[in-house]
Every structure is written in C-alpha cells, then in structure tokens.
Structure 1
Amino acid sequence: MNTSAQMSEANPRLHYMDNLRAIAMLTGVLFHAALAYSVLAHPLWPTADRGQSFIIDLFAWFFHLFRMPLFFVVTGFFAALLVQRRGIAGMLKNRFMRIVLPLLAFWPLVYFSMTGLISRAVTEVENLSPLLQMIKPWVLDPNAATAPPTLAHLWFLAYVMCFCILVWVAFTLEWAKYLHRLAAIAPISQVWLAPLLLVPALMSVPAPFPAPESLFPQWWALLFYGFYFLMGFRLSHQAAWLDQFKPQVARLLLSSLLAYALFLYLLQAKGMTQTDWFSKVILALLQAYAGYGMTLVCLIAGQRWLDVHHGFLRYIADASYWVYLVHLPLIFAIQIPLMDVNLHWSAKLLLSVGTVLGIAFLTYHFLVRGRMLGRFLNGQQRGR
C-alpha cells in the first residue's frame, strides 16, 4: 500500500499513482462513514442510523465499484517496480516488512476495539441499528458461542500479500511472458472482453459485491481483485498500454455511468434480487463494466492531471497507510453515540468524517511521521 520516496523521486510518472492512492484513501473514509446513512446498507451495517438517504446510495455505491479495484491497480504497479529494482526476493522481503508485520501488529487492536465498541453499543444505545438489534441477545448471552474472527477492513493487506506470493509463483513458472501477448488485443476489444472475466466472481456474491473479510482467502476475491492487481503490474511494464484507451475516455465514462445508473435502478428502484440466474448475470455484468470502465477513466485522468508533485496530496499519500489502519474503529467510536443524537444525516456524516480525518491526521503528524512507528509502516524516515 505504501512505497518508498526514492521511487517517486526517480520517476515522475509515479506521482499520479501516489496522488490517486491519496484520493482513493479519502474516498474510502467517506464511503465507510456514509454507510451508516445508506438505504441499501441499513439492514447490514452496525452503525446504521435512523436517518437515511438515496443520495448516499447514489454516490457511495458508485465509488464502491472502482475504489478498491483502483487500490489494487496501484499496489500491482508498485509491486512490479519492486521486482524490477530489487528482484522477486527483494519484493517479497519488502512486502513482508510493510504488509505482513503491520497486519499482525494492528489486527488485534482493530478487531478487539471494534468488538468492544459493538458490545458497548448494544447496552448503551437506544436507537439500535437492525443488525445490532439482531445480535443483541447473542452479545448479552454469556453462554453464547464466540463468533469467528474476521480481518475487518484489513483484508486488503492479506490479499495484497497473496498476490505478491502469486507473482513469485508466476515468475518461477515463467508465466510473466504472457503479459506481453495481451498487448496484441485491440483496445476496444479489451474494453468489452476484459470485464467478462470478472462476471463469474461477481455472480457468486451478493450485489453490490461485499468485502472479503474472512480469515481465509475467498476464490471470488482472488479472481476479482487479482485481475486489477495484474492490471497494475502490467501497466508498470507497459506504460504505453494506458495511452491506447485515451481516445475512448469519454465513451468509457459515459458507458460506465449508464451501466451504474441501470445497476442502481435494478437494485433499488425495482427491488431486484439475486435469487435467479438471470438477475445475477445482469447485476454482475453491470458491476464489471462500470467498475472496469471507471478504473480506466481514473487512471487516465490521474495521468493527465495528477502526474505532478503536489505537496498536499503527497502528504496525504504518505499518511494513507496510517489513516487506512485506524479509520474504521474511529468511525464506529464516533457514529455509535451519534445514533441517539437528533441531527440530520448530513450533519452526522460531516461530523463523523471531519472528526475521523482530524484525529487520524493529527496522530499521524505528531505520533507517526518521522518516528519509529512511521519507519515501521513506511520503511523510511520522514522529516516532521
């Protein structure tokens, strides 16, 4: 998820990747905070509030379709750079130090803090969400079985490491040479054919596709996010690959917006479910094409307008790992008391997002940046 300063300084084309990562991270904080006020997520989200709005669904699920795919493109891109500069062994060592060790260190803190917050909420909050109402008897029963642990939002780190190991396997078996053969496919064919590879994975899970939080890897997530990781890995080796889509960017944007509009219409306005095969196919196709198209649009726009050294975005990119690790427990800690507060949903959303970002960036600046914890996460010393 993070890269060294030397990489960005050595190659100016890397600036847009760092800046895209910064924007995607901020979008992630907004997305997780907005789920409390989503109509679609209301039955399933722990901090679901009484105030809900279709406006939240309109924007939140749109970003959901390409936010994490874009993150995996970025991680695949930088994994390829590590292989080029340090070799497979150097890449694996770097990813172990920057991904596995932070995952092992922060997972207990994240998991038990969120579990404690939920346990406290079921006893202190009056206006419980539907999910908390359902699990309240189980939480209060001392003889109840313990729920299996999950990775929470840290599942991203586990999958990045899985893909890095698969890169090692691919290089060992000399599969990397097949990447170059993909370049022979015409751009318009890639736009229409590539998303079809994602349909089997998306058909196997509810729509919108969920977060694969279980401790064990799920095949659909390996296929779905592995596709985007490979996309970033290839982009690092073939920088000109993205250029061939630039003449089509307007059509990509328009078709992605139309696919998303139809997806949301079927999912919400018509109450379409995934109980039959036809519904699964349609919803999977719409998610695949909208997500893939918007990911390409973001990469092209980033390369066009964000391929510069911008101090503000660079600071956010440097802080993104820390903000990613701590933001979800902070959201729960802030939104649980707000469930009993009589405020409009928009005010609660602004309050929760502003408070989370304020705490996350202040702690990063004074406790992480340029300190031992910062070196542990980012592998480098940065001035305060």
Structure 2
Amino acid sequence: MGAGQPHRREHFWDAARAFLMILGIPYHVALAFRPVGQDWIIYSPDGAGLFTYLAEFIHLFRMPAFFVIAGYFAALLLARRAPGPWLQGRLTRLGVPFITAILILVPPLNMVTELSNFSLPEALRSWEYNSTTSGGYWVRHLWFIIVLLYCCTAAAALVRFRPGLARAMVPERVDGWMARNFPMALMGMAVLIGLWEGGVIELFYKAGLATNVPQQILRIDDLISSAPYFILGFLLMRSPATLDRMRRFSPTILIVAIGATAFSLATIDEFWPPVGRFIGTLSAVALTQVVIAGACRFLDRPIPLVQRFVSASFVVYLVHLPIILLLILLGRDIAMPAVPKALSIMLLSLMLSYAIWLVVERSPILSFLFNGEPLSRKEPPRRYLPSNR
C-alpha cells in the first residue's frame, strides 16, 4: 500500500513550522530577562520571575513539535522523490545558511555577549579564547540544523538501502487501532519517548560525553533528544487515520497538556533530571498535538500575512539572536520595568529580523546564502513558500 498523497496543499503545516521558529524570539528574550542568578549567554540586570516560566513553557514544546513536523515532511517528500536528490536539496537548503550564519552572524553575536560582561580589552581576549577552544561558542542557536541534517541523512539512507520504505505505510490494522484509541496511543508513545529521554540522555552525561566534540560540536545529546520526535512525525505521515486524529482537537489531550505543563512548570529543577525530562516529554507530546490541531483549525488556508511569515521564518530565526543580544546590550541602561522592556525587544527583534528578510528575498546571492535558494532560479521574489522545506 503506497504512501498517500494529499489531494490539496495543507497550509497549516508550513504555518505551524513558521510559528515554532519565530517563537525563538520570545524564548531567547525570556531567557535573558529571567531573574538575576539564572545566567544565560548575555548579562542583563533586568529580570522578572515571569520570564523563567515563559522560557520553560516555550522550551517544553517548541523543538519537539518542530521535529515532529520535520519528520512528517521527510516522510511526505521521500514518497515523492529519490532519496539522493532529496538529501542533496536538504544539504543546500540547510547547510549553506548554516555556514553563512557561522561565518557572518555568530562572531559578532559572541562579541556582544562578551561586551555585556567585560570591558572592550577583556571582551576581545575572552572572545579570542572562546573562539579557539569552545565548539558550542560557534554553534549557538544553529544546533537544530546539525541535528536536522543528521535525521534527514538517516531517513534518506534508510530509503536508499530499503526502497520499500519510501512508500511503506503503518499496517492498516495498527493505524486503525491507534486512531480509535488516539489519546491512549499518543500518550503511550509519549511514555516511550519520555523513558528514552530520561534514560539515554542521562547515560550520555554519565559516560562523560558532555565535552567539546560530542556535545558542543556534534550535538549528540540534542540528536538523542530530537530523533524520537522526528520518527514520530515520520510515522504519523504514514498512518493516515491516526494523522487525521492528530489534526483534530482532543479534549483528553488538551487536559493532559494543561496538567503536565502546569506540573512541569511548578516543579522546575525539583526532580532528578531524568524524571524532569520524562514529565516534560508528556507535556511536549501533548502540546505538539494541540499546536498541530490549532494550526489545522485556524491556518489551513492561504492567508497572505501568514504566508509572508512562512517565507521569512528561516531567515528570521537565523538573524534574530544577534539582534536580540544587541538590543539588550544597547538598552541595558534604559530605565524601564523588565516586562515592557522585554516586550519591546521582542517586537523590535521581530520587525528588524523581518526587515532583513525583505532585503534577503530581493537578492539571489543573499537568498542562496541565508535561505539556501538555488542561484539558478530566475523567478521573482516569492511571496510564500512554494515547496515544503
């Protein structure tokens, strides 16, 4: 039985993915505006307890949901395209902007973080030292590209060596049972992922692998954390009845999402890390379903403004962090309560990031460097994403 082909474009998948990427702006601003003592990469004297909970809430589901959607698209596109050309496209779309960001965006980003803590001479010395000794200093917010390339490479390799997987479906009997018992099936998968998250990541750390190469550069711990969500998305695309339930609101899943999220936020750092990761996984899976169902309900149609942000979302994500850090540094001495200051930085960061994308989309060279668009493309600047990234 072949992989099903959608009869129409489902706009909500692109919208949900763009929403999750743009959520990086409030997430990173919230990290910077947590109370003093909760250190991040930039020093800010302003803080409020609200931002601890906002950052943790966004962190619970943003990247898990992103990798579920990425797995869905991988399964969808590998049913239509040969694995080699598909992977080559991923390498261009993701790899070129990754290298561009490392060379152009990350060095000034790191200098801003140093200037927030030291005088200029000391900042230069610290920048030079960390640039030559720390892999994580170069990766920063780009880690998800490394992990996504791992997942795409593994998916393409599996289809290359087992061609039947290109269009293989979950057995209809299994798919039907999961659809009929959707809340139990989804949360059962959440339990399995939670046991993986709690156990395997802890073994990674216990083995002393949280060092420069395996953790900071290769991001193996992030791969361990993200791969189950990618696989979940891949399997959902190959399970049409279950996927249909995933697109619809479930009161039971919503209750689980609220309960698990509230408990996770109320007990931040109170449990042994594997237990905390397990609880967070239950929240992540439930919230992912809520996000997908909400996007399907409200965004499954061509909305011009949404389409613009869909097109802009990847570039916005690449450039938003240096912009946020620079605004925090420049605004540090402005007398303003933490909450309105943080909200102002969120809005300004979004506006400036979007403005940069407006420049990028009008230049073939910049579109190639920052968005992985082929240089040979002769079309006018696109107004929305014509193919799933």
Is residue 13 of structure 2 the alignment partner of residue 17 of structure 1?
Answer: yes
State how far apart, in whole Å, the 1-side matches of 2:34 and 2:261 are: 17
Check 1:13–1:240 CA distance in 2 against 1; reply closer, same or farther (3 A cut): farther
Give the residue type in structure 1 aligned to 2:337: H
Between the two proteins, the alignment pairs up a number of residues equal to: 351
Residue of structure 2 equivalent to 1:305: 298
1:69 deviation in Å? 1.3
Give the residue type in structure 2 aligned to 1:216: L
Is residue 52 of structure 2 the alignment partner of residue 57 of structure 1?
Answer: yes
Check 1:197–1:37 CA distance in 2 against 1; reply closer, same or farther (3 A cut): same
Give the residue type in structure 2 aligned to 1:315: R
Identify which range, 356-365 or 48-57, moves more after superposition: 48-57
Residue of structure 2 equivalent to 1:266: 267
Residue of structure 1 equivalent to 2:189: 194
Q: 2:283 aligns with which of 269, 286, 290?
A: 290
State how far apart, in whole Å, the 1-side matches of 2:130 and 2:267 are: 39
Give the residue type in structure 1 aligned to 2:76: L
Structure 1, unmatched stretches of 5+, are 1-9, 126-135
State how far apart, in whole Å, the 2-side matches of 1:155 and 1:145 are: 16
Residue of structure 1 equivalent to 2:333: 340
State how far apart, in whole Å, the 2-side matches of 1:71 and 1:369 are: 27
Check 1:245–1:86 CA distance in 2 against 1; reply closer, same or farther (3 A cut): closer
State how far apart, in whole Å, the 2-side matches of 1:248 and 1:25 are: 22
State how far apart, in whole Å, the 2-side matches of 1:188 and 1:331 are: 39
State how far apart, in whole Å, the 2-side matches of 1:160 and 1:246 are: 23
Q: 2:134 aligns with which of 126, 131, 148?
A: 148
Check 1:116–1:47 CA distance in 2 against 1; reply closer, same or farther (3 A cut): closer
State how far apart, in whole Å, the 2-side matches of 1:350 and 1:296 are: 27
State how far apart, in whole Å, the 2-side matches of 1:323 and 1:143 are: 29
Residues 4-43 of structure 1 aligned to structure 2 (within 5 Å)? 12-39=8-35, 42-43=37-38
Contact 1:37 1:53 in 2 (8 A): yes
1:383 deviation in Å? 4.5
What's the TM-score, normalizing by structure 2? 0.80
What's the TM-score, normalizing by structure 1? 0.81
Identify which range, 328-337 or 47-56, moves more after superposition: 47-56
3-state SS, counterpart of residue 133 of structure 2: coil
Give the residue type in structure 1 aligned to 2:25: V
Residues 61-100 of structure 1 aligned to structure 2 (within 5 Å)? 61-100=56-95
Alignment identity in percent? 22
Residue of structure 1 equivalent to 2:312: 319
Residues 123-272 of structure 1 aligned to structure 2 (within 5 Å)? 123-124=118-119, 139=125, 146-150=132-136, 151-174=139-162, 176=165, 180-181=170-171, 183=175, 184-185=177-178, 186-199=181-194, 200-202=196-198, 204=201, 214-218=216-220, 220-245=221-246, 249-267=250-268, 272=270
1:137 deviation in Å? 9.3
1:139 deviation in Å? 4.8
Is residue 323 of structure 2 the alignment partner of residue 330 of structure 1?
Answer: yes
Give the residue type in structure 2 aligned to 1:99: L
Contact 2:43 2:117 in 1 (8 A): no
1:329 deviation in Å? 1.0
Cα offsets for 1:88-141 (capped at 9, x unmatched) = 11211110110112212221223211222123233349xxxxxxxxxx799559
Q: CA RMSD in A?
A: 3.1
State how far apart, in whole Å, the 1-side matches of 2:128 and 2:314 are: 37
Is residue 101 of structure 2 the alignment partner of residue 106 of structure 1?
Answer: yes
Cα offsets for 1:218-268 (capped at 9, x unmatched) = 1x422321122122223333343222356771121121111111112222x
Check 1:339–1:18 CA distance in 2 against 1; reply closer, same or farther (3 A cut): same
3-state SS, counterpart of residue 85 of structure 1: coil
State how far apart, in whole Å, the 1-side matches of 2:155 and 2:359 are: 36
